[in-house]
Chain A
Amino acid sequence: MNDAAIAARQVRFEQKAFWRNPAGAVFTFAFPLLFLVIFSTLNSGMRIEERGNISFVTFFVPGIVAFGLVSACYTNLAIRMTISRDFGILKRVRGTPVPTWAYLAGQVASSVIITFILFFLTVGLGVVAFGVEFRTGTAAGLFATLALGAACFCALGLAVSGMCPNADAAPAIVNFSIFPLLFVSGIFFPLDNAPAWLTAVGKVFPMQQLADGLQYAFDPRTTGLGFNARDLWSLLAWTVAGSVLAVRLFRWDPVKK
């Protein structure tokens, strides 16, 4: 079996394991979809004038897609890898001939698959239940942003798992690192009237760049294919930084207590 086939098998088994773990699967899927339903119901019929008179739900869906992506690629991956390391799974894997890249590619690809399933569910539910206006013209930019965002947050997830001392600490560290950013990144509500310093802080981080890039593709004022250069370049920079950090911080052995 060649290495690509090994990676593909890894994905298959990671997926099996993911869907059998009720806690992981339910949390990853329930939160974004629940937020979508609640916020969309609360704000149904509302339009945002400053944003080209976009319906609230159409504004809200890309933010939820970003949130789902971060859950699957960052939160979930980082916690899962820390648990795997802490429980000695990574050490066991290290003792087999599986190439590092094939094993990690399997982990990352599995997270990306979950992201895309979540994307189709979120947008699908939005379109069917809440009349979200999906633009096919900007789909190229949308999918490019989604793919780059997934790569970026997977790299950061692997890097952060290297910083978590053990499985018990992982959920706290990972959630604490991302939660505040959710609120300064214009995911749940537009930050057009927020203080400038707050939005400036948000713009430094990939959470905002991802959400903004996805919102751009849903924005009725957007012309062209939906590629937001500023967001994409920033995400690329974070991807590179995350990858460098991941390579430096990744560990196979549990940290000695």
Chain B
Amino acid sequence: MAAIRVRDLRKSYGAMEAVRGVDFDVEEGEVFGFLGPNGAGKTTTVEILEGYRQRSAGEVTVLGHDPAKGERALRERIGIVLQETGVERFLTVAEVLELYCGYYPRPRAVDELLTLTGLEDKRNEVVKELSGGQRRRLDLALGLAGDPDLVFLDEPTTGFDPTARREAWEVIRNLRSLGKTIFLTTHYMDEAQHLADRVAVIAAGRIVAAGPPDRLAGRNRATEIRFTAPPDHRLPDLAGASVTALDRGVVVRTDDPTAVLHVVTGWALERGVTLDGLTVSRPTLEDVYLELTAEAANGQ
């Protein structure tokens, strides 16, 4: 069964339609990455799923409930880690966790939450003394207080140093191995690449691509060959590949790298030309993402 099911979701603010017919499913036990630029309808969509906003039209089911009803039974089973949410500044880490655990029928143990998020040393620290990264880990711990089946993570590692990010990713992977479903929104493509089983990209209120990060928008098929050729040589004919000449070299994009590479290197050997900086690579998730969102922005 799908943990989240969204069909033709729409949301308007006055005359402005922020979400324009969005469909997707999040399967139980997967990490679902939800990507999109600011203002694309991402936050609106997530907040509708979380029950903070009402939709204008469409169908939404979260763990079998309609989040618009604000049912307690649903809130007992989800954990929400928002951006920029405060917490009582004058309580200690352990006290805040104890308070929030008390809101749920089957909470996790405070010690467990502290261990999971690496806050054991900060247990008796007053919240206002915590650093930004520690505060963010506390956010995560609070989101997990009720031992939720589904966790919403909104930009969970913003402001983390690289080590802290890796640690946070480890926590998220652990959650996944416990069978939790995770709905992750992030601006970091490497984060989505590392964590998400599937991603969806929203741009201008619509889903423009969805799939596993490795195969998103034909990413697995497109290969980029880059090199620098001497300026006085005309390149061979590369049928079926897109060639872009940049001032510092050539980018060839192709579905058939073996053949293209053969033609290019054959041509170079024949003429005794060296191809400086020759690389063969697949576009990163970030490349694909930037292309998709730019297309959507231009199409508006």
CB-CB < 8 A to A138: which residues of B?
Answer: none
From known contacts A13-B95, A20-B126, A92-B82, infer whether A97 and B103 are also in contact, taking CB-CB under 8 Å: yes
A230 within 8 A of B: no
Q: Is the CB of B102 within 8 A of A97?
A: no
CB-CB < 8 A to B85: which residues of A?
Answer: 87-89, 91-92
CB-CB < 8 A to A96: which residues of B?
Answer: 75, 100, 103-104, 145-146
B209 within 8 A of A: no
Question: What total of chain B residues lie within 8 Å of the partner, measured CB to CB?
Answer: 29
CB-CB < 8 A to B82: which residues of A?
Answer: 88, 91-92, 95
Q: Is the CB of A13 within 8 A of B126?
A: no
Contact of A97 among B75, B86, B98 (CB under 8 A): B75
Which partner residue on chain B sits nearest A96 by CB separation? B103
Near B by CB (< 8 A), chain A positions 13-57 give 13, 16-18, 20-21
Near A by CB (< 8 A), chain B positions 75-119 give 75-76, 78, 80, 82, 84-91, 95, 98-100, 102-105
From known contacts A16-B95, A99-B72, infer whether A1 and B102 are also in contact, taking CB-CB under 8 Å: yes
How many angstroms from the CA of A95 to the CA of B50 in the assembled complex? Answer: 8
Main secondary structure of the interface of B (DSSP, over half): loop
A147 within 8 A of B: no
Q: Is the CB of A88 within 8 A of B50?
A: no
Most buried by B among A21, A87, A88, A92: A92
How many angstroms from the CA of A13 to the CA of B89 in the assembled complex? Answer: 12
CB-CB < 8 A to A87: which residues of B?
Answer: 85-86
Give the shortest distance, in Å, between A89 (CB) and chain B (any CB).
5
Q: Is the CB of B88 within 8 A of A89?
A: yes
How many angstroms from the CA of A88 to the CA of B146 in the assembled complex? Answer: 19
Near B by CB (< 8 A), chain A positions 73-96 give 84, 87-89, 91-92, 94-96
How many angstroms from the CA of A96 to the CA of B100 in the assembled complex? Answer: 8
Near A by CB (< 8 A), chain B positions 165-187 give none
Q: Is the CB of B103 within 8 A of A6?
A: yes
Most buried by B among A9, A92, A95, A98: A95
A58 within 8 A of B: no
Which partner residue on chain A sits nearest B70 by CB separation? A94
Q: Is the CB of A17 within 8 A of B86?
A: no
A208 within 8 A of B: no
Q: Is the CB of A97 within 8 A of B52?
A: no
Q: Is the CB of B52 within 8 A of A17?
A: no
How many angstroms from the CA of A10 to the CA of B51 in the assembled complex? Answer: 23
Q: Is the CB of A89 within 8 A of B87?
A: yes
B142 within 8 A of A: yes
Contact of A95 among B80, B87, B99, B105 (CB under 8 A): B80
Give the shortest distance, in Å, between A235 (CB) and chain B (any CB).
31
How many angstroms from the CA of A91 to the CA of B50 in the assembled complex? Answer: 11
CB-CB < 8 A to A99: which residues of B?
Answer: 72
Which partner residue on chain B sits nearest A254 by CB separation? B84
Give the shortest distance, in Å, between B149 (CB) and chain A (any CB).
13
How many angstroms from the CA of A55 to the CA of B205 in the assembled complex? Answer: 72
Most buried by A among B52, B103, B145: B103
Q: Is the CB of B84 within 8 A of A88?
A: yes
From known contacts A13-B99, A91-B82, A97-B146, infer whether A21 and B90 are also in contact, taking CB-CB under 8 Å: yes
Q: Is the CB of B88 within 8 A of A253?
A: no
13 pairs across A/B with beta carbons < 8 Å? Answer: A6-B102, A10-B99, A16-B90, A18-B90, A21-B89, A84-B86, A87-B85, A89-B88, A95-B50, A96-B100, A97-B72, A98-B103, A99-B72
